[in-house]
């Protein structure tokens, strides 16, 4: 986001977590998917952990 701000954009960032995955290709890790979904939903609701969410969305408008 800092690079866009330096280039003359008004920048805003939001964080997205809590998306429940239903499938992953790896047979070795498929058992852990419910655990991941639970932790992603529970932990990233905490405000101080939001910047570490799975998805960081950055948007900007040219000044």
Domain regions of the chain by residue span: 2-62
Is the predicted pLDDT of residue 50 greater than 90, yes or no? Answer: no
Question: CA distances (Å), 34 to each of 25, 44, 48, in order?
Answer: 14, 15, 23
- Angle ∠(46,44,30) on CA atoms, nearest 5: 150
30-47: pLDDT as tens digits: 999 999 999 999 998 898
Tell me how far apart the alpha carbons of residues 25 and 12 are, in angstroms, rounded to a whole number.
33
**pTM exceeds 0.75:** no
What pLDDT is recorded for position 36?
93
15-27: pLDDT as tens digits: 988 889 999 999 9
């Amino acid at each position: 986001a800092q690079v866009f701000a330096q280039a003359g954009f008004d920048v805003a960032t939001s964080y997205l977590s809590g998306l429940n995955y239903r499938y992953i290709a790896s047979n070795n890790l498929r058992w852990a998917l419910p655990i991941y979904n639970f932790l992603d939903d529970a932990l990233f609701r905490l405000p101080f952990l939001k910047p570490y969410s799975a998805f960081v969305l950055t948007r900007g408008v040219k000044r």
